[in-house]
């Protein structure tokens, strides 16, 4: 079953390949979403300090009638935290908010503070190393099991690899049909860094693409199912976000194989128009 599939990270920790993303799910609604997902068989829940819903995610995990060690919980250090003390404090605050004894994985949310994404050449190399050191220490203290990064490009990853004792376990990036970072995937593979794909359906933009629609019809699947399967076949961990129980279930029904010919066609789909979502930094906007 898709939801049972795991991979072993370079840290030796097993991670489920299918996760529930919780971006833009309100704190007062997310506990229900998490409980529903876990009931459906999800075993990996992804949140972040910046989402403002860690409390609700923690409540959902704690009240899901499943032993804590059977749910993999990821959160992310806010992109603005680029020093040791602030990062360390934020990890303790995340644990307190979530009501958990440990987080399975903590990730640096972005190499740059959000307001500088796409408009600054400063990659905060020293700040990211300071945050990374705080995360390494939190692993030693038993607060976190493994650590990774998000939105890091090759030079950002090389900075961590060359100047710390820990290679990131994951790089969580925007990856979908029409926007697949193939060079980064190759680099990550060489360094045994797992790649996690967020927004596999391009924040809904994939729904209006005629090429994607045509291929989905060929396989008798929905556009989201095709998009998720595409990332899955490229070897990524997938993080589709939804609070809708029907979509939660449908998203996991990807037990079909896209032919190599169709994968090649999908690899060559032109960049998608994100519409209203293009205000967000991850889609090219500025804050």
The CA-to-CA distance between both ends of the chain, in Å, stands at 40
Torsion sign over Cα 65, 67, 71, 75: positive
The answer to whether the CB of 18 falls within 8 A of the CB of 5 is: yes
Nearest to 108 by CA among 144, 145, 80: 80
Strand segments (E) across 164-284:
170-174, 194-198, 237-239
Interatomic CA distance for residues 35 and 57, integer angstroms = 9
Torsion sign over Cα 10, 15, 19, 24: negative
**Catalytic one of 51, 124, 198, 230:** 51
Query: By three-state DSSP, how is residue 154 classified?
Result: helix
Nearest to 132 by CA among 162, 175, 153, 102: 162
Query: By three-state DSSP, how is residue 178 classified?
Result: coil
109 is in an annotated binding site: yes
Q: What are the C-alpha distances in Å from 93 to residues 32, 59, 109, 267?
A: 22, 15, 16, 41
Residue 124 bears catalytic tag: no
Active site residues: 51
Sequence ranges of the binding site for substrate: 109
């Amino acid at each position: 079953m898709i939801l049972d599939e795991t991979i072993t990270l370079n840290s030796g920790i097993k991670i489920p390949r299918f996760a529930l993303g919780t971006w833009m799910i309100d704190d007062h609604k997310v506990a229900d979403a998490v409980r529903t997902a876990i009931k459906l068989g999800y075993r990996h829940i992804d949140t972040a300090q910046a989402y403002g819903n860690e409390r609700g995610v923690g409540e959902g995990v704690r009240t899901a009638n499943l032993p804590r060690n059977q749910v993999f919980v990821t959160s992310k250090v806010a992109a603005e935290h680029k020093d040791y003390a602030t990062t360390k404090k934020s990890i303790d605050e995340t644990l307190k908010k979530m009501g958990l004894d440990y987080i399975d994985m903590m990730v640096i949310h972005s190499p740059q503070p959000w307001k500088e994404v796409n408009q600054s050449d400063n990659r905060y190399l020293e700040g990211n190393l300071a945050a990374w050191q705080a995360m390494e220490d939190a692993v030693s203290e038993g607060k976190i099991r493994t650590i990774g990064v998000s939105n890091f490009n090759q030079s950002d990853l090389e900075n961590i690899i060359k100047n710390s004792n820990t290679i990131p376990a994951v790089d969580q990036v925007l990856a979908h049909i029409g926007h697949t970072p193939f060079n980064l995937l190759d680099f990550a593979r060489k360094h045994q860094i797992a790649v996690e794909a967020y927004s596999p359906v391009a924040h809904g933009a994939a729904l209006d693409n005629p090429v994607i629609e045509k291929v989905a019809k060929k396989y008798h699947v929905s556009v989201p199912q095709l998009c998720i399967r595409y990332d899955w076949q490229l070897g990524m961990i997938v993080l589709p976000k939804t609070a809708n129980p029907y979509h939660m279930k449908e998203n996991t029904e990807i037990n079909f194989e896209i032919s190599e010919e169709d994968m090649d066609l999908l690899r060559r789909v032109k960049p998608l128009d994100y519409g209203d979502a293009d205000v967000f930094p991850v889609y090219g906007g500025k804050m």
